[in-house]
């Protein structure tokens, strides 16, 4: 590669390279490495060349301008296909395009607007239930609500009793959490305790999803199929096989509710620790006539969610594999290298954010002329999260309605310990005190 040089690299260990440092503290490792070596860093992991990116221009090159040279890759497929099959999150090429065309209509802005009645009705039901509580464990209650909403609007199915989904989400977090004792990849077939729990949970979820598909195929809709337009009905009508539909449903069941619940958890956790910021949001939402709706202008609420997701992106790392040699920012990206685009490190770089560790929603009031990919919680390019508009609408409706109803104070923990797995999740339950604003 002419005029290209190898990216700088921190010292590693014999045999395991940088795997030990990464598995001990994934978030701290990438943040320290970027701080000391810059936004394009070469790493060595057992069996792989790895390039870590926290440079917005480099990330945009990989995800947008030269995206055809980067695929999800064999490593990611081997890790996830046991759970997601050939679903839209990991499929490639024409297969992905076909899936995207079938699924995208469920997420058109006009279609998403039709979901708001269900979102607000379910949110009010949960708020009424929480009215009788002194405290709320966000990491338990918010996933219940977001899963409930997702089931109704995308699958026309009540999932409140579907324990299989939450059990699998918990098992997935455990399965993909780096283990500092074993700085190498452990395949699913190795009978470790966490692998066994994971495979049992996936098997139960698969059985539940197949029953859901078969039930929809045989359901008498009384001629209303064309009117309902939920995602599951659209997939069944498309003549996809049960296996193909299974892959899409599990993808949305796991990824679709967990990430929104995490964004809400982090936002409410931060507001519970920053009562001044909470007061500003409460003042804004107090003007609402009832619960929040899609048409409400809520700039403070939107900035607050945006800032929370900057600090705690529910997905903290995107992975691609280089199909051919490339040059990014003057540095070599060799064919077959794993490219890690780090939201966590990029969102916390002093180069792009003043006082990046602080929760400051006001930083989003003015254009600071940041590069586009200094903030990319939903990824970017054609593989950007297909449900991002749905997720943001759901988050703002729930958060605005909750803060209008309750004063929130964080009980525990005061400082978050995090697990960087498929998603970025709190290591322990996050609990807040609720006090009604109506009393």
Q: Are strands 431-436 and 424-426 parallel, antiparallel or unpaired?
A: unpaired
CA distance 21 to 180: 8
Q: Which domain holds residue 68?
A: 19-259+311-382
Tokens of 387: 């449900």
Q: Which residues, in sequence order, are CB contacts of 276 under 8 Å at separation 6+?
A: none
What pTM was computed for the model?
A: 0.93
CATH number of the domain that 174 lies in? Answer: 1.10.630.10
Is residue 10 situated within a structural domain? no
CB 155 within 8 A of CB 149: no
Indicate left, alpha or beta for 393 from its phi (over 0: left) and psi (-120 to 50: alpha): alpha
Average pLDDT for 7-27: 91
* % of the chain residues with pLDDT over 90: 64
pLDDT score at 181: 56
Model pLDDT for residues 298-311, shown as the tens digit of each residue: 999 999 999 999 99
Name the nearest CA neighbour of 199 among 176, 173, 172: 172
Model pLDDT for residues 103-140, shown as the tens digit of each residue: 999 999 989 988 999 999 999 999 999 998 999 999 99
CA distance 176 to 242: 27
Q: Which range is least confidently modeled, 215-224, 277-286, 396-405?
A: 215-224
Average pLDDT for 219-238: 70
What DSSP designation does 5 have? B
CB 397 within 8 A of CB 119: yes
Q: Is the pLDDT of residue 7 over 60?
A: yes
Is residue 98 situated within a structural domain? yes
Is residue 150 situated within a structural domain? yes
pLDDT band at 167; cut points 50, 70, 90 = confident
Is residue 129 situated within a structural domain? yes
Name the nearest CA neighbour of 310 among 271, 384, 383, 360: 360
pLDDT band at 142; cut points 50, 70, 90 = very high
CA distance 336 to 225: 46
Model pLDDT for residues 230-249, shown as the tens digit of each residue: 889 889 888 789 999 999 99
Q: Is the pLDDT of residue 227 over 80?
A: no
Q: Is the pLDDT of residue 226 over 60?
A: no
CA distance 73 to 46: 16
Tokens of 435: 């006090």
Model pLDDT for residues 168-183, shown as the tens digit of each residue: 878 877 777 666 555 5
- Mean pLDDT across the chain, nearest whole number? 90
Q: How many domains does the chain have?
A: 1
Q: Is the pLDDT of residue 16 over 60?
A: yes
Can you spell out the DSSP letters for 301-368? HHHHHHHHHHHS-SS-EEEEEESS-EEETTEEE-TT-EEEEEHHHHHT-TTTSSSTTS--GGGGSS--
Is residue 273 situated within a structural domain? no
CB 341 within 8 A of CB 317: yes
pLDDT band at 146; cut points 50, 70, 90 = very high
Is residue 419 situated within a structural domain? no
Is residue 7 situated within a structural domain? no
Average pLDDT for 247-261: 91
Model pLDDT for residues 45-100, shown as the tens digit of each residue: 988 899 999 999 999 999 999 999 999 988 888 888 888 999 999 999 999 999 99
Is residue 34 situated within a structural domain? yes
């Amino acid at each position: 590669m002419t005029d290209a040089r190898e990216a700088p690299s921190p010292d590693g260990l014999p045999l395991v390279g940088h795997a030990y440092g990464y598995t001990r503290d994934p978030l701290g490792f990438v943040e320290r490495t970027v701080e000391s070596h810059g936004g394009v860093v070469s790493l060595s992991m057992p069996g792989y060349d790895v390039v870590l990116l926290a440079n917005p221009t480099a990330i945009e090159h990989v995800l947008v301008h030269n995206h055809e040279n980067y695929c999800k890759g064999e490593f990611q497929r081997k890790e996830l296909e046991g759970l997601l099959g050939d679903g839209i999150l990991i499929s490639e090429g024409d297969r992905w395009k076909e899936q995207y065309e079938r699924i995208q209509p469920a997420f058109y802005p006009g279609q998403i607007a039709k979901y708001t009645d269900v979102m607000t009705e379910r949110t009010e039901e949960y708020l009424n239930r929480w009215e009788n509580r002194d405290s709320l464990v966000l990491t338990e209650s918010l996933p219940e609500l977001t899963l409930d909403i997702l089931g109704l609007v995308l699958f026309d199915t009540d999932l409140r009793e579907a324990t299989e989904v939450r059990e699998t989400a918990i098992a997935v977090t455990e399965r993909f959490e780096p283990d500092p004792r074993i700085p190498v990849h452990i395949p699913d077939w190795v009978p470790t305790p966490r692998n066994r729990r994971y495979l049992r949970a996936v098997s139960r979820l698969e059985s539940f999803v197949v029953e859901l598909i078969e039930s929809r195929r045989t359901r008498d809709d009384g001629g209303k199929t064309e009117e309902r337009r939920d995602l599951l009905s659209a997939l069944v009508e498309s003549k996809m096989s049960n296996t193909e539909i299974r892959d899409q449903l599990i993808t949305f069941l796991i990824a679709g509710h967990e990430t929104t619940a995490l964004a809400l958890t982090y936002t409410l956790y931060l507001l519970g620790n920053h009562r001044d910021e909470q007061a500003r949001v409460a003042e804004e939402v107090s003007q609402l006539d009832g619960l929040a709706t899609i048409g409400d202008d809520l700039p403070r609420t939107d900035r607050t969610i945006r800032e929370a997701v900057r600090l705690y992106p529910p997905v903290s790392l995107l992975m691609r594999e280089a199909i051919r040699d490339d040059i990014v920012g003057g540095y070599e990206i060799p064919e077959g290298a794993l490219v890690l685009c780090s939201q966590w490190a990029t969102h916390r770089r002093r180069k792009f954010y003043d006082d990046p560790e602080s929760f400051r929603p006001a930083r989003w009031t003015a254009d600071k002329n940041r590069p586009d990919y200094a903030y990319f919680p939903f990824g970017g390019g054609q593989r950007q999260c297909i449900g991002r508009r749905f997720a943001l609408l759901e988050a703002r409706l729930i958060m605005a309605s909750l803060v209008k109803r309750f004063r929130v104070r964080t009980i525990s923990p005061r400082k978050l310990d995090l697990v960087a797995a498929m998603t970025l999740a709190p290591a322990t339950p996050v609990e807040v005190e609720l006090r009604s604003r109506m009393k």
